[in-house]
């Protein structure tokens, strides 16, 4: 495994290895404090980010490594017209591994073609966000103890949500996953995912318009924001928006061990009163992202804790 551009670049075995390593890092943090000593991570973020960029930087620091990079295109030579390809080739001479976010779909793939160091796609437009997918898988496995035999509800913007699309593809490789898609008609899951994933792999799924009608069935509820700008008229948005805001009342019929997830940032799609519910996992989810990125950095650099003993 040289680069990570698409979550489907990873086999199930490789994903399990990364999650096992992340679990061990949580249990034995001290064992991993210097595994990346003298190694450098470059974070090349051509668009703003909070969780992804900072969790990559925290991950490398907790492994004993160093971090360099920029947090927006305006603070790099891209503002002068330098190509992405030239930028990453130059930075590859300064760092051992690169994490890159770019608004243009396919940019990390194009950059990887001429790189001498590993590159991690930290999000490319509406295309892929593989480390978020790994974060989601780790959250589910730690909270539910498994990645199979689950009913997964995905709620909100299912049409444009890259995290939803990536997680569906990743979880479709596990046994007996039942998907429930909860969205307004305007933001329903694209037909190509229904055909290429659900129908092609004979995976059980259904589409509904309210979360209340399926809440008792769910093991996982993955929330996303219903965006006003996706609607053709404001009246439709006002009519539908409250159906996709999770509050305490909607959780009355939910399972006691429901896992509520959200890739964040949250706007108003989950009431802050839900934050105190033990089933709310979205802040833990953000923390798990740091540990899975630590495991990924180690794996791509080919380092292990055993080498440092």
Report whether 49 contacts 69 (CB < 8 A): no
User: Catalytic residues, which ones?
Assistant: 51-52, 80, 101, 129
Adjacency order of strands within the sheet including 97-102: 66-70, 40-45, 97-102, 119-124
Residue 257: partners with Cβ closer than 8 Å, 6 or more residues away: 144, 219, 279
Neighbours of 184 (CB within 10 A): 22
| Chain centroid, CA 102 distance in Å | 15
Q: CA 18, CA 105: separation in Å to the nearest integer?
A: 25
Report whether 8 contacts 169 (CB < 8 A): yes
Residue owning tokens 């295309």:
127
Short-list 82, 56, 81, 83, CA closest to 71: 56
Q: CA 150, CA 144: separation in Å to the nearest integer?
A: 9
């Amino acid at each position: 495994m040289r680069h990570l551009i698409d979550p489907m670049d990873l086999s199930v075995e490789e994903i399990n290895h990364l999650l096992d390593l992340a679990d061990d890092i949580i249990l034995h943090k001290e064992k991993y404090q210097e595994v990346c000593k003298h190694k450098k991570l470059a974070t090349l973020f051509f668009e703003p980010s909070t969780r992804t960029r900072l969790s990559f930087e925290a991950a490398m620091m907790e492994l004993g490594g160093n971090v360099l990079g920029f947090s927006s295109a305006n603070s790099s030579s891209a503002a002068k017209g330098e190509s992405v390809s030239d930028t990453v080739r130059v930075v590859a001479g300064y760092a051992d591994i690169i994490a890159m976010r770019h608004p243009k779909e396919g940019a990390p793939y194009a950059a990887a073609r001429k790189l001498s160091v590993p590159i991690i796609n930290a999000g490319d437009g509406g295309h892929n966000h593989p480390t978020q997918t790994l974060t989601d898988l780790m959250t589910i496995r730690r909270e539910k103890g498994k990645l199979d035999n689950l009913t997964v509800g995905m709620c909100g913007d299912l049409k444009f949500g890259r995290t939803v699309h990536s997680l569906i593809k990743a979880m479709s490789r596990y046994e007996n996953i039942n998907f429930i898609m909860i969205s307004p008609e305007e933001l329903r899951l694209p037909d190509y995912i229904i055909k290429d994933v659900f129908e092609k792999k004979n995976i059980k799924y259904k589409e509904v318009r309210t979360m209340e009608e399926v809440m008792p069935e769910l093991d996982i509820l993955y929330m996303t924001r219903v965006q006003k700008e996706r609607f053709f008229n404001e009246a439709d948005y006002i009519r539908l928006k409250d159906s996709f805001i999770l509050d305490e009342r909607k959780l009355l019929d939910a399972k006691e061990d429901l896992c509520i997830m959200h890739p964040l940032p949250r706007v108003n799609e989950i009431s802050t009163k839900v934050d105190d519910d033990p089933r709310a996992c979205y802040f833990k989810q953000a923390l798990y992202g740091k540990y899975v990125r630590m495991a990924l950095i180690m794996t791509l650099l080919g380092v292990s804790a055993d080498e440092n003993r």
